[in-house]
A and B are shown apart, each in its own frame.
Chain A
Amino acid sequence: MKQMLTLEESANYNRKILNYIHQASETGVYDIRGLGAKRRVPSLDDLVFLTASLSRYPLEGYREKCVTKTVLGTRFAKKPIELEMPITIAGMSFGSLSANVKEALGRAATHMGISTTTGDGGMTPEERNSSKTLVYQCLPSRYGFNPDDVRKADAIEIVVGQGAKPGGGGMLLGLKVSERVARMRTLPPGIDQRSACRHPDWTGPDDLTIKIQELREITDWKVPIYIKFGATRVREDVKLAIKAGADVIVVDGMQGGTAATQEVFIEHAGIPTLPAIRLAVEALEEMDMLGKVQLVVSGGIRTGADVAKALALGADAVAIGQGVLMSLGCNTPHYIDADGRPVDVTEEYQALGTAPGYCHHCQTGLCPVGVTTQHPVLEQRMQPEWGARRLINYLTTLKMELTTIARACGKSNVHHLEREDLVALTVEAAAMAKRPLAGTNWIPGA
């Protein structure tokens, strides 16, 4: 008689955890990977808009004027950043991305009237020349950081941390460190390039105050200074950044991406973007700085709805990284060749041990669609013109979605979206965003 199988999977020791234990037992090292947190966390998806009906008066869908113009850095800078819509492209390094990708980002951002951002490794001519408005990151590693590029920047972003790895620094594995990348970073090619977790020339917020003044002096007080950090103790960090003299604060939630970091950080450090926005806004309000110091949020911003919800919660703009890469072809089964034909690369995904739709193998430098690579053959698979066209479409869609939601809420300016326009679908989101659970007046913890 055939024995019946009893296949009861353990919640504690499910297949993912079993695989983790088995792999750790075989290798003795933790996993490093790219992109952001994959597990479900309370997010902007858990909020919905209370659009107009009898009690509110809507504007006409896609026709009536709805202002998207956004100004960042009005506190001290002589030349604040002016954007055509409240989106900026997040900082991503040359090294993690190819020069072609950096150029595509610059071209699309310029076309859309928004800014793009450098990353670890310095500023490339490709991105400076293609970007009308470029934010220059000052990172702990200071790879490639120099005063000439400081003076070329339209804004400077002091990066304290990143949502994917707050407190964790960064890593560019040797497989991606080409001669050019190594030269820019003053390190030998092929070695793993550790990006430090703390700045070399200041430690606490009091020193940071003087560091900001130094950067202002070098730039003759022209450009805004942003401070970016990963979302952990958001309320305290926002207040310290304000006190240190930031013009703009960038808060990156745990869904934020990375080119390569320990999975234990990606999935277990920092708080989700949803509560991070609320905490940052409360801190600005408590310091009477709402609207005086601008707030940019990032970490899992993907859709026009996400942008609208972030603004309604109090952000002035959002930064997008992973969504931008996916627009350029990340996780698609093919790339487009010079003749405009799709070339299937499913087998190359398989060689990396993954498949289109599941890939997070940016750390290998073997991106089958040529986005997160320095490989001379692979990087040719993402041509700047094609990539810029795709990204312009994506950003245009986000703008259309953002404005259509704003109009439906009766707003002629996307910055008029407000917390009152939102309710939560889950108890967790209600508590984190401090918005009532839909159909109730209940805000847990309020």
Chain B
Amino acid sequence: MSETFDLKTTTVRAINEHLHGLAPDATGVYEILNPNGSHNIAVGVDAPVEINIRGHAGYFTAGMNKQARVTVYGNVGWSVAENMMSGRVHVKGFASQCAGASGHGGLLVIDGDASSRCGISMKGIDIVVGGSIGHMSAFMAQAGRLVVLGDAGKGLGDSLYEAVIYVRGKIHGLGADARVEDLSEEDRTQIGELLEQAGLSARPAEFTRVASARTLYHWNPTSPQVSVL
């Protein structure tokens, strides 16, 4: 089935309410026209449906998404796909700050550039950016993979935990406790798979791997770390 919502004649509230009423196994295609930068479009969806946003969208687009495949035919504001659990969000244009923040799962693809703090606090989400990313990206990122075909701004991977970053272009500076590591065969395989899923092409061998040096895993490295658990 297919339904069309036009934000010239309806509201974000009405669209979200409709999408929240879908059964967890519902299918179908939902077209959203004239978003005109509206915030919070398609947040909290939990159904394997396809949602196409035809134009630019505002903050928190597809926030907390589960299962849905959301495509934005335009740019997005802050925090697209924040806290995403599963599914796929594809931005055909550019993304503002905090793209994929705290995402737990699923795939976020941004064809253009993403601004600062892309992948901040990520917790298992995979993010592929066709262009470049801004400063402090992947800050305190815990799990998941961030693949960047362009450049990365200053402070990349500051305070990283277990997430891994792959950058093809120039890295303008690493954050605290982030370090460049050798690219393994496993890394190249993973980059290749993520690029294929994202529909982007590049040679995996051209990427630089950035991961945590793990020197900040204890606030006081000199104290005994004997776990009693």
Which residues on A are within 8 Å of B, measured CB to CB? 27-29, 32, 141-142, 145-147, 150-151, 171, 173-179, 185-192, 194, 196, 200-202, 207, 210-211, 213-214, 217-221, 365-366, 374-376
Distance in angstroms between the alpha carbons of A175 and B223 in the assembled complex: 12
Asked if A210 and B17 make an inter-chain contact with CB atoms under 8 angstroms apart, the answer reads no
Asked if B227 and A217 make an inter-chain contact with CB atoms under 8 angstroms apart, the answer reads no
Given contacts A145-B102, A210-B39, contact A217 B44 (CB under 8 A): yes
Asked if B220 and A150 make an inter-chain contact with CB atoms under 8 angstroms apart, the answer reads no
- Binary contact readout B218-229 vs A (1 if CB under 8 angstroms, 0 otherwise): 111011011111
Given contacts A186-B123, A192-B219, A375-B228, contact A207 B142 (CB under 8 A): no
Distance in angstroms between the alpha carbons of A201 and B96 in the assembled complex: 11
> Which of B44, B60, B82, B217 is within 8 Å of A200, CB to CB?
B82
Known: A175-B228, A201-B79, A210-B58. 7 other contacts (CB 8 A): A32-B219, A147-B44, A186-B123, A189-B229, A194-B219, A211-B59, A220-B17
Is the C-beta of B98 less than 8 angstroms from some C-beta in chain A?
yes
What residues of chain A lie closer than 8 Å to B90, measured between beta carbons?
none
Given contacts A201-B98, A213-B40, A365-B228, contact A194 B16 (CB under 8 A): no
Which residues on B are within 8 Å of A, measured CB to CB? 12-13, 16-17, 20, 39-40, 43-44, 46, 58-60, 63-64, 66, 78-79, 82-83, 85, 98, 101-102, 104, 117, 120-121, 123-124, 139-140, 142-143, 159, 161-162, 216-220, 222-223, 225-229
Asked if B12 and A142 make an inter-chain contact with CB atoms under 8 angstroms apart, the answer reads no
What residues of chain B lie closer than 8 Å to A191, measured between beta carbons?
161, 217-218
> Which of B46, B58, B101, B161 is within 8 Å of A187, CB to CB?
B161
What residues of chain B lie closer than 8 Å to A192, measured between beta carbons?
217-219
Distance in angstroms between the alpha carbons of A147 and B17 in the assembled complex: 15
Asked if A366 and B162 make an inter-chain contact with CB atoms under 8 angstroms apart, the answer reads no
What residues of chain B lie closer than 8 Å to A150, measured between beta carbons?
44, 64
| 6 residue pairs bridging A and B, Cβ less than 8 Å apart | A146-B85, A189-B227, A200-B82, A200-B121, A202-B78, A217-B44
Given contacts A190-B227, A200-B98, contact A207 B78 (CB under 8 A): yes
Nearest 5 pairs of A and B residues by beta carbon? A218-B44, A201-B79, A200-B121, A147-B64, A200-B101
Asked if A147 and B85 make an inter-chain contact with CB atoms under 8 angstroms apart, the answer reads yes
> Which of B66, B79, B121 is within 8 Å of A141, CB to CB?
B121
Q: How far is the CB of A355 from chain B (nearest CB, A)?
A: 20
Asked if B140 and A217 make an inter-chain contact with CB atoms under 8 angstroms apart, the answer reads no
Distance in angstroms between the alpha carbons of A407 and B64 in the assembled complex: 48
What residues of chain A lie closer than 8 Å to B40, measured between beta carbons?
210, 213-214, 217
**Closest B residue by C-beta to A173:** B219
**Closest A residue by C-beta to B46:** A147
Chain A contact residues, majority secondary structure: loop
Given contacts A145-B102, A186-B123, A186-B142, contact A175 B227 (CB under 8 A): yes
What residues of chain B lie closer than 8 Å to A366, measured between beta carbons?
228
Asked if B101 and A201 make an inter-chain contact with CB atoms under 8 angstroms apart, the answer reads yes
Asked if B228 and A147 make an inter-chain contact with CB atoms under 8 angstroms apart, the answer reads no
Asked if A218 and B63 make an inter-chain contact with CB atoms under 8 angstroms apart, the answer reads yes
Distance in angstroms between the alpha carbons of A318 and B201 in the assembled complex: 57
Distance in angstroms between the alpha carbons of A179 and B117 in the assembled complex: 29
Q: How far is the CB of A139 from chain B (nearest CB, A)?
A: 11
Asked if B13 and A217 make an inter-chain contact with CB atoms under 8 angstroms apart, the answer reads yes
Distance in angstroms between the alpha carbons of A376 and B79 in the assembled complex: 39
Distance in angstroms between the alpha carbons of A141 and B123 in the assembled complex: 10
**Closest A residue by C-beta to B20:** A220
What residues of chain A lie closer than 8 Å to B16, measured between beta carbons?
217-218, 220
Q: How far is the CB of B203 from chain A (nearest CB, A)?
A: 31
What residues of chain A lie closer than 8 Å to B217, measured between beta carbons?
174, 188, 191-192
**Closest A residue by C-beta to B59:** A210
Asked if A200 and B63 make an inter-chain contact with CB atoms under 8 angstroms apart, the answer reads no
Distance in angstroms between the alpha carbons of A28 and B104 in the assembled complex: 37
Q: How far is the CB of A235 from chain B (nearest CB, A)?
A: 28
Distance in angstroms between the alpha carbons of A217 and B58 in the assembled complex: 14
Q: How far is the CB of A193 from chain B (nearest CB, A)?
A: 9
Q: How far is the CB of B36 from chain A (nearest CB, A)?
A: 15
What residues of chain A lie closer than 8 Å to B117, measured between beta carbons?
200
> Which of A142, A176, A207, A375 is within 8 Å of B59, CB to CB?
A207
**Closest B residue by C-beta to A376:** B229
Distance in angstroms between the alpha carbons of A211 and B13 in the assembled complex: 14
Asked if A29 and B223 make an inter-chain contact with CB atoms under 8 angstroms apart, the answer reads yes
Distance in angstroms between the alpha carbons of A216 and B165 in the assembled complex: 33
> Which of B44, B120, B229 is within 8 Å of A178, CB to CB?
B229
Distance in angstroms between the alpha carbons of A126 and B78 in the assembled complex: 35
Given contacts A29-B222, A220-B17, contact A142 B60 (CB under 8 A): no
> Which of A29, A176, A189, A217 is within 8 Å of B220, CB to CB?
A29
What residues of chain B lie closer than 8 Å to A171, measured between beta carbons?
219
What residues of chain A lie closer than 8 Å to B159, measured between beta carbons?
194
What residues of chain B lie closer than 8 Å to A151, measured between beta carbons?
44
Asked if B228 and A200 make an inter-chain contact with CB atoms under 8 angstroms apart, the answer reads no
Asked if A213 and B39 make an inter-chain contact with CB atoms under 8 angstroms apart, the answer reads yes
What residues of chain A lie closer than 8 Å to B85, measured between beta carbons?
146-147
Distance in angstroms between the alpha carbons of A213 and B140 in the assembled complex: 25
Q: How far is the CB of A97 from chain B (nearest CB, A)?
A: 15
**Closest A residue by C-beta to B17:** A220
Q: How far is the CB of B104 from chain A (nearest CB, A)?
A: 7
Distance in angstroms between the alpha carbons of A207 and B195 in the assembled complex: 32
Distance in angstroms between the alpha carbons of A131 and B20 in the assembled complex: 25
**Closest B residue by C-beta to A374:** B229
Distance in angstroms between the alpha carbons of A188 and B223 in the assembled complex: 19
Distance in angstroms between the alpha carbons of A219 and B83 in the assembled complex: 15
Distance in angstroms between the alpha carbons of A187 and B163 in the assembled complex: 10
